[in-house]
Amino acid sequence: MCGFAAWFDPTGGPPEREWLSAAAGLLAHRGPDDAGFLVEPGVGLAFRRLSIVDLAGGHQPLANEDGTMWIVYNGEVYNHEELRRELETLGHRFRTRCDTEAILHAYEQWGEGCVERLRGMFALAIWDRKRRRLFVARDRLGIKPLYWARAGRAFVFASEAKALFAFPGVRRSVHLPGLVEHLTLRYAASPATLFEGIEKLPPAHHLTVDEGGPVVRRYWDLDWEPTITLGDDEALEEVERRLTESVRLRLMSEVPLGALLSGGVDSSLVVALAARLIPRPVQTFSVGFDAPGPYSELPFARMVAERFGTEHREIVVGAADVARELPRLAWHQDEPVSEPAAIPTFLVARLARETVTVVLTGEGGDELFAGYPKYAFDPLARRLAALPGPLRGLLFDHLANRLPFRFRKFQVVARSARFRDEAERLAAWFAGFAGAERVRLLSPALRAHDHVAAAAFARALETTRARRPLDRMLDVDRRLWLPDDLLMKMDKMSMAASIEARVPLLDHPLVEWAARLPERFKVQGGEGKVLLKRLARRLLPREVVDRPKVGFTVPLAPWFRGPLRGLLTDTLLSSTALGRGYFDEQVLRGYVADHVEGRRDRSRELWTLLTLELWHRAYIDQVPHPPVAYEPPPRANPTPEATWNGQAGGS
């Protein structure tokens, strides 16, 4: 796992080495083991390496035999040995054992089509010197991030947005319509970011830029039809086979490897299968919360660890940890991904880094197999949305909002059922602010952009190949929520700890197979993730499977009324925050008071506002810099002196 930056000027102007050095420095946490650079007329490449495969031969930028092509790359391609054998039969000669070289030769052989042959997670940039063009690409599911922008005549690319600001001409300003989208979705939907002029390359896309400018193309999408015909036993055997293969591929490593174990079904299945495949005990790492109530899944994680004899370690996170780490994580996230689990994810990744460099995780199971309650309850929300407007207003705006907290599931359904429009309804399920509540909060200047709130959902629904309601929900979440929230959180937080996170449930052949499963294998009655739970009951303690879904839930609600109340109010109601002019001050104060005085749980909305304000302070109010100097976590090797590859260079 690594980080890179690339600069390309179609007119041939050279970059300054200082720009590339600064960009690499801002990515040091992604690659504490090595650094490398290429500078020549029209192009500059900067790279930071976290050594995992071919420790001796994986230095980047890496060139082909005659130096006419150079690559920088972040990720892991799990079928690289298979690709190597095929390419060798076609006459290619390899100097290393690393997957990076397989990608470069694949580009030589198949051009842009090379990415269709890659199985894994990746973001990459290839300098094609003969054709005077730069080729960049991102993996199918968006596991690895890739940002880009214009910088005067040049185009710049990087693994994290912060590295782009090392190049002159890239401004730090707010994309105002993005603020409204962020308040709704709690993330920026690709290709947009909250930075004006900076975009994310969407998942499953590549971009080629030469003197004619950039051309962006999609190279992969999901087919949801025809539905696979298979019996229950056959489906169970097949999902176990496919998931086992995916876990096996992701055990490729020359450094210590473990797993993040939440205690939920998905991560527990990954641990169960890894324990079958690894001849020694799996190292597992878990995190819980110092708060009363059903917030900690540590007891269930311990059950799984005991069942499979893992070497298990855990930490407990309290409100003081959140307050301490928030400024650091606002910087690491680049954008205010309003996912409270980011902080415990970072802290458990730091724990894991003490003994391993790679971890397997459970992201993707809910999006593939319909695990969230919303997938089971959306048919009810659709029926309620068909009620006459006045009746919906009475039920949802008055009755539902006044129900006690124990009725929060109905409140969530009611919140979505307010909207007859499909895009608005689907966006409301995980929204920070939805509908009239958002409009009331916005200042007149931002209210003018309210039409963009659910626009990303509308675009995704217009272009999806899925036709059935459940499939449409799953596909939209796969395109938006998964890469722009969950996977972005995992990448940024694991990389902040200099650790690589791999996601076996998002092996793209498994994803393609799961998309075409009949609905009965995903949702039956009020239960989701039906097929995956059947497999889990075969492999895991029943107590882990047959219990209410908790998820990785951070106890913000009690903390915002208790130990974090001062942080919340001092930040959101400060003259700095109010002076931005984004919100109606009285409405904002009312929303804060609703929560801290116990009238209504607004922890999700307030966390969205808090992370947004901290992002402004980290990236807009000042030149972005780490809150503290970067120090590699304990397992990191000292960074050797960076090497520079010149125009004729070598790796």
Q: Which residues are catalytic?
A: 2
Buried/exposed 204-242: b ≥16 CB within 10 Å, e otherwise:
bbbbbbeeeebeeeeeeebebeeeeeeeeeebbebbbeb
User: Do 359 and 326 meet the contact criterion of CB atoms below 8 Å apart?
Assistant: no
Radius of gyration of the chain (CA): 24
Distances (CA, A) of 576 to 42, 186, 603: 42, 21, 21
Tokens at 527, concatenated: 């239960």
Single-letter amino acid code for the residue at 190: S
Enumerate the β-bridge partners of residue 502.
360
Q: How many beta carbons lie within 10 A of that of residue 343, not counting itself?
A: 21
* Region at 364 (left for phi over 0; alpha for psi -120 to 50; beta for the rest): left
State the Cα–Cα distance between residues 274 and 131, nearest whole angstrom: 44
Please tell me what DSSP assigns to residue 126.
E
Q: Give, in degrees to the nearest 5, the angle at Cα 73 between 645 and 152.
A: 70
User: Do 123 and 75 meet the contact criterion of CB atoms below 8 Å apart?
Assistant: yes
Three-state secondary-structure class, residue 283: strand
Enumerate the β-bridge partners of residue 218.
205
Cβ neighbours of residue 634 under 8 Å, at least 6 residues apart? 353, 354
Report residue 397 CA to chain centroid gap: 33
β 198-200/34-40 pair status:
unpaired
Among 518, 439, 514, 509, residue whose Cα is nearest residue 477: 514
Q: How many beta carbons lie within 10 A of that of residue 293, not counting itself?
A: 10
Spatial strand order in the sheet of 69-77:
62-63, 69-77, 120-128, 133-138, 205-210, 213-218
State the Cα–Cα distance between residues 497 and 493, nearest whole angstrom: 7
Q: Give, in degrees to the nearest 5, the angle at Cα 406 between 401 and 408.
A: 45
Q: Is the dihedral angle over the CA atoms 41, 43, 48, 50 positive or is it negative?
A: negative
Enumerate the β-bridge partners of residue 316.
288
User: Do 221 and 213 meet the contact criterion of CB atoms below 8 Å apart?
Assistant: no
Report residue 33 CA to chain centroid gap: 23
Enumerate the β-bridge partners of residue 121.
76
Report residue 134 CA to chain centroid gap: 25
Enumerate the β-bridge partners of residue 313.
285
CA count, 13 A, side-chain hemisphere, 214? 20
